[in-house]
Amino acid sequence: MSLEARKIRLIMLLRRSGISDTQVLSAIEKIPREAFVPQSFHDRAYENETLPIGFGQTLSQPQVVALMTQSLSINKSHKVLEIGTGSGYQAAILSCVARRVYTIERYKPLLQQAEERFAALRIHNIVTKYGDGSLGWPEQVPFDRIILTAAAGDMPEKLYQQLAVGGIMVLPIGPERGEQKILRVIRTEQGPTYEEGPTVFFVPLISGALPDQRPPNAVGRATQKKEI
């Protein structure tokens, strides 16, 4: 089966799973997922599964990427902050539906690879930063939307404060080895409101940027605990 046929099959699966936002589906159709994984995994690029991207990290399951993107309710006027660039795939999807994407990665080689992919795909509305994602990007506040690709143990107050009033933050929340849920947080004048989503499994949100050296082997960017 060709990559194009596999992509069509994936889009159909996402539709059946409840992904109805046509902009999100169009972004997943447009962005070549195979460009974000090693050559040896190209034939699995459109399977609904996590894939390794090197450095002990993984590319999140397409269904999780689509669900979290849809939950952000993004439009073309929005300025989005992503915490955890990883391969760059989530940022590339966001770039199709938002005005501008700011993305932070704590491991420099991953960020450099992602930047190369953005350049090769001629994506020009993504701004990258090497640093501690838990601190957000104070120089660029406020953000209309914020997305985390690592699980917070509780509500990340510093990031919430960088949301515009009316803004939305989507993140996995829960303990590293316990049950985690996708959480949708809306900032209102009266304070945050919460909507809980499905169960997932992500690596924890960690403070600090890693030095420019080979990372620990026992980490992965994001995996899913069960089908959603």
The CA distance from 176 to 193, in Å, is 24
Angle 14-133-165 from CA coordinates, rounded to 5°: 75
Ramachandran area for residue 56 (φ above 0: left; ψ -120 to 50: alpha; else beta): left
CA distance 82 to 72: 11
Task: Give phi and psi for 76, each to the nearest 5.
Answer: -70, -5
Half-sphere exposure of 203 (CA within 13 A, CB side): 15
CA pseudo-torsion sign 14, 42, 172, 162: negative
Strand partners, 103: 82, 128
Helix (H, G, I), strand (E, B) or coil at 98: coil
Note if 60 is an active site residue.
yes
Contact predicate 48/208, CB 8 Å = no
Catalytic annotation, pick one of 2, 20, 40, 60: 60
Contact criterion met (CB below 8 Å) for 152 and 169: no
**Residues identified as active-site:** 60
